[in-house]
Amino acid sequence: MTDSKGGAEPSVPGGTDRADGPLVEVRDVNKHFGELHVLRDVNLTVARGEVVVIIGPSGSGKSTLCRSINRLEPIDSGTILVDGKPLPQEGRDLARLRADVGMVFQSFNLFAHKTILENVTLGPLKVRKESKETAEKRAMELLDRVGIANQAQKYPAQLSGGQQQRAAIARSLAMRPKVILFDEPTSALDPEMINEVLDVMTGLARDGMTMIVVTHEMGFARRAAQQVVFMADGQIVEANSPEEFFTNPRSDRAKDFLSKIL
Ligand code: ADP
Ligand code: MG
């Protein structure tokens, strides 16, 4: 796969290429749903090649933060920069942003009436205008990489949950994203399938993919993350290295949360 740290491709032809700046910067972001203040002055910096794990109680704003970063949700105030550029409001730039920022959901979100191969080639054909031959060749390489090349001609419902989620990861990779957001990617899986998905994610992390991962899998956080971010009530309460966070949580909220899940 493309090395996200290589910086070989300028981010935009003619645009400012800030190959050594942070890949994602969230600055003073606020977001409301009606009366509910779901993101409160959120600040987060994600370096190139970094894996950030976001944890926190249900309803703390983790999904909203992820969705804001690829503009599935508009924000009320503050700034989000991806590769040095503010998020676009609409139009073609938004399609490019969605290509740059991959997203893997809890519920896989594969197209049920398309084969696994078609699911993976759809974006490259439509958005990246790749030829069918190029898109299929690369899709097969990616399916091989996530260990399901032999499932390429099947439909999503014929695959296990773990295989479907690995297909969703391959689909995301096919767009050559600069960063991938994972929102509880293993929460809908039967326990025996969790590791096959985490193993793929750990491999991506090792290869230098920049990743923001919302998860309750603390083993993965310890193994793969450089930064653990703890959210509660729409705020980032603590952000630290996994080692420091797990052995020496500072806030009562984090201590309480860890005591319940560890
Ligand atoms: P988490 O992912 O940490 O569980 P979310 O970001 O999904 O939290 O939600 C944060 C808060 O915002 C919750 O109280 C949730 O009910 C609320 N919320 C999320 N999405 C919407 C929406 N589309 N409309 C109204 N409220 C929402
Ligand atoms: Mg969520």
> Which tens digits make up the pLDDT trace of 22-53?
999 999 999 999 999 999 999 999 999 999 99
Tokens of 144: 């091989």
Average pLDDT over residues 95-120: 93
Structure tokens at 71: 């503009």
The two beta strands, 36-46 and 24-33, are antiparallel
> Of all protein residues, whose CA lies closest to atom 26 belonging to ligand 1?
33
More confident residue, 162 or 11: 162
Confidence band (pLDDT; 50, 70, 90) for 18?
low
Helix and strand numbers (H, E) in the chain are 9, 10
What residues are in contact with ligand 1 under a 6 Å CB criterion? 33, 36, 38, 56, 58-64
* pLDDT tens column, 67-85: 999 999 999 999 999 999 8
Q: Are the C-beta atoms of residues 202 and 234 closer than 8 Å to each other? A: no
Rounded-to-integer distance, Cα 202 and Cα 192, Å: 17
Those residues whose C-beta lies under 8 Å from the C-beta of residue 141, and which sit 6 or more positions away, are none
Burial 96-115 (b: 16+ CB within 10 A, else e): bbbbbbbbbbbebebeeeeb
Candidate of 33, 65, 214 to mutate for ligand 1, largest count of ligand atoms within 8 Å of Cβ:
33
Element (H, E) at 197: helix 191-206
